[in-house]
DNA sequence: GTCTTTGTCTACCATGTGGTAGACAGACCT
DNA sequence: AGGTCTGTCTACCACATGGTAGACAAAGAC
């Protein structure tokens, strides 16, 4: 029928993020993705030569997406460190809640081949570097609790990603999955992090 | 040859925790596990009627193991809340580092069927309940920062699990994977959590 | 109007996977 | 010694999955 919507590739990427991120890479078949998109499996293999290269593309796009979000938040925020941290968390929180698979995909990386992990690590490197430098400065200025800046980045990442990608953890403590519950969650998460970082 | 080591079942469970926890359930084949144990695939299916029931057993055993560790730590610790929290984190940290797959498996639950998730949630319920009650008491007594006790449990869980199961995050901040690095990591993790919880 | 390019589809194949059937060897009972 | 039970193995099957080959239809190129 050759509908030629012109966005097949993008649709495939979107569906792939959702499925890889929620079920995991290995548990998602090409047919699953194709079915979700409403297209034949072969069409996927037309746009991406193999499942593995599809994964590459998905990872890269996700990294770019998140990077853009963070970048914008940092630029818009005040220079004061706690405000800046709050801004970043808020910025990440929105897409994370709307599409839990986004961060789920990032987490999935630890399950994948070292190759994929390495590549994503390299891509994230400059952001990490900037964050650690910033934290170190602020710690030196006495505006943040003294700690290893790199580890603080990792810990904050772990906290945000963990809470955003494990709905089971929230269900276990009977947290309401409503809009209000989410806003309160965001507030408590930020309070938690700020308390951990305040001097 | 019928070696009859008497621990085949236990060996299977152990290998399954490692593989399910590190690669993920879907990415692990029965042959993988059998190979690791040094036994034929059919032997697995003799002890566990299906891959799914093997997973059930693995989850249950892991929950029991972790529960025992936490239980012991809580009993041994002083009654002061910060000391108690520190004791629990230290207790969880040891097995988590020695066998990253343990917590990786817990995290894997969010990828599995709601059935499995539900069951594990139920199993963990009493512990969660006790932890939240304890935190609430201590907050009321002014010994901990005022916050939603349930969420604090979830956040602390997310932080510990995240940092323990994502070696990539640590590699990204160039954290040394040595014994000394691990001890310092534990120290910083505890400092991070205590700062977040102190009144 | 023909030709080429682009995007999609329908077979089809090779392989890996979960699971079944049943043989077989040692242990234990009598 | 004979019979049953337990644990392990080999052989096999049905099926899903990633990937290939090639037909086909619409859209430009000229």
Residue A112 belongs to a domain with what CATH number? 1.10.357.10
Q: List the one residue out of A11, A196, A49, A76 whose CA is nearest residue B163.
A: A196
B11 touches strand D (CB under 7 A): no
A114 reaches B (C-beta below 8 A) = no
B117 reaches A (C-beta below 8 A) = yes
B16 touches strand C (CB under 7 A): no
User: pLDDT tens digits, residue range B24-50?
Assistant: 999 999 999 999 999 999 999 999 999
Q: Which residue has the higher pLDDT, A54 or A114?
A: A54
Percent of chain A, pLDDT > 90?
77
- Helix then strand count (H, E) for chain A reads 10, 0
For residue B38, which nucleotide's C1' is closest to its Cα?
Answer: D8
Over range A112-139, report the average pLDDT: 92
Measure CB to CB from residue A173 to each of B26, B111, B153 and give the nearest one. Answer: B153
Q: Which residue has the higher pLDDT, A155 or B113?
A: A155
Give the DSSP letter of residue A144. Answer: S
**Residue-level pLDDT at A6:** 63
pLDDT higher than 90, residue B115: no
Q: A117 is written with which tokens?
A: 């992990």
Give the DSSP letter of residue B28. Answer: -
Over range B56-74, report the average pLDDT: 92
- The DSSP element (H or E) to which A43 belongs, if any, is helix A41-47
Residues 20-59 of B with CB under 7 A from strand D: 39-43, 46-47
Specify burial of residue A194 (Cβ count, 10 A radius: 0-12, 13-18, 19+): middle
B31 reaches A (C-beta below 8 A) = no
Q: What share of chain A is helix, strand, coil (3-state, %, to 5)?
A: 80, 0, 20
Q: What nucleotides of chain C have any atom within 7 angstroms of a protein Cβ? A: 6-11, 16-22, 25-27
pLDDT band at A2 (very low <50, low <70, confident <90, very high): very low
* Residue A42 in domain: no
Structure-derived torsion over alpha carbons of residues B189, B191, B195, B199, reported in degrees to the nearest 10: 120
Over range B72-99, report the average pLDDT: 90
* Residue A179 in domain: yes
pLDDT band at A3 (very low <50, low <70, confident <90, very high): very low
* Residue A101 in domain: yes
User: pLDDT tens digits, residue range A18-27?
Assistant: 999 999 999 9
pLDDT higher than 70, residue B1: no
Over range A80-102, report the average pLDDT: 91
* Residue A45 in domain: no
* Residue B3 in domain: no
Q: Rounded to whole angstroms, how far apart are CA atoms A173 and A161?
A: 17
Q: What share of chain B is helix, strand, coil (3-state, %, to 5)?
A: 80, 0, 20
- Which residue range is the domain that position A190 belongs to? 59-197
CA-nearest residue of chain B to A145? B195
Asked whether the beta carbons of A166 and B107 are under 8 A apart, the reply is: yes
**Residue-level pLDDT at A5:** 55
User: pLDDT tens digits, residue range A171-184?
Assistant: 999 999 899 999 99
The mean pLDDT of chain A is 92
From the CA of A42, how many Å to the nearest CA of chain B? 23
Of the candidate ranges A18-32, A160-174, B43-57, the one whose mean pLDDT is the lowest: A160-174
Q: List the one residue out of A36, A46, A40, A35 whose CA is nearest residue A9.
A: A46
* Residue B42 in domain: no
**Residue-level pLDDT at B5:** 55
Over range B52-65, report the average pLDDT: 94
Total domains, chain B? 1
* Residue A63 in domain: yes
Over range B137-161, report the average pLDDT: 96
Through-space separation of residue B67 CA and nucleotide C27 C1' in angstroms = 37
* Residue B40 in domain: no
Q: Count CB neighbours of A171 within 10 A.
A: 15
């Amino acid at each position: 029928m050759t509908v030629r919507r012109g966005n097949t590739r993008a649709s495939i990427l979107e569906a792939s993020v959702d499925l890889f991120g929620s079920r995991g890479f290995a548990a998602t078949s090409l047919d699953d993705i194709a079915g979700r998109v409403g297209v034949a499996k072969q069409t996927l293999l037309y746009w991406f030569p193999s499942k593995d290269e599809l994964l590459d593309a998905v990872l890269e796009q996700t990294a770019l997406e998140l990077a853009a979000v963070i970048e914008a938040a940092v630029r818009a925020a005040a220079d004061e460190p706690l405000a800046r941290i709050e801004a970043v968390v808020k910025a990440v929180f929105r897409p994370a809640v709307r599409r839990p698979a986004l961060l789920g995909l990032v987490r999935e990386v630890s399950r994948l081949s070292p190759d994929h992990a390495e590549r994503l690590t390299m891509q994230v490197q400059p952001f990490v570097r900037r964050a650690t430098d910033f934290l170190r400065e602020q710690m030196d200025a006495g505006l943040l609790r003294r700690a290893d800046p790199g580890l603080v980045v990792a810990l904050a990442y772990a906290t945000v990603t963990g809470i955003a990608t494990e709905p089971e953890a929230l269900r276990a403590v009977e947290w309401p999955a409503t809009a209000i519950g989410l806003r309160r969650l965001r507030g408590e998460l930020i309070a938690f992090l700020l308390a951990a970082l305040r001097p």
